Structure 1
């Protein structure tokens, strides 16, 4: 069995999502905790890849970087219209899927 997933939430994902996931036993790192506020998207991808974190973002630029072939340890793209509850439920489900199937190079849409 794979290690549990850790989601790396970008600055636009509400902290309530992090709190909800943590309350459900999902490991989460916020940009502020990682001291990565203000970093470029490429730097976030590199940091997350080195740590084995799955990036969670509303930012389309991450999709562009994936299409350009940047290596990564996983991305979950979340449309802005998703509610906090939808994000928590969807990410919780993906955490279970990722444990069984791995995350490297995967892009999921919530």
Structure 2
């Protein structure tokens, strides 16, 4: 198996910290990036987009009570290694596994 590096872009690095949630999800989609969040409102918005069949690049939701930063990093690295971004279109996934 070919090992891929994990390519991370934060909203701060992208200059997108002031964007409203819907615009941030649109921005991630334009960039072809799956978005990770612990914000339950963000998760609800992505699920609404799923129901509306509105395209987005995917969202991974980290349960605030269910995991540590270390566990999130491990799970996100696993996701990056075993999947391709096109597999995440319109998907909402929960971590930790």
Q: TM-score, normalised by structure 2?
A: 0.79
**Compared with structure 1, are the counterparts of its residues 100 and 50 closer, same or farther at alpha carbon in structure 2 (3 Å cutoff)?**
closer
Could you say which structure has the higher helix fraction? 2
Structure 1 residue ranges (4+ consecutive) displaced by more than 3 angstroms after TM superposition: none
Unaligned runs of 5+ in 2: none
**Compared with structure 1, are the counterparts of its residues 100 and 29 closer, same or farther at alpha carbon in structure 2 (3 Å cutoff)?**
closer
Aligned residue-pair number: 87
The root-mean-square deviation of aligned C-alpha atoms, in Å, is 1.8
**Compared with structure 1, are the counterparts of its residues 92 and 49 closer, same or farther at alpha carbon in structure 2 (3 Å cutoff)?**
same
Match of 2:12 among 20, 24, 32: 32
Q: Does 1:79 align with 2:63?
A: yes
Question: SS of 1:36's equivalent?
Answer: coil
**Compared with structure 1, are the counterparts of its residues 30 and 86 closer, same or farther at alpha carbon in structure 2 (3 Å cutoff)?**
same
Q: TM-score, normalised by structure 1?
A: 0.71
Q: CA deviation at 1:96?
A: 2.4
Tell me if the contact between 2:56 and 2:89 (Cα under 8 Å) persists in the aligned partners.
Answer: yes
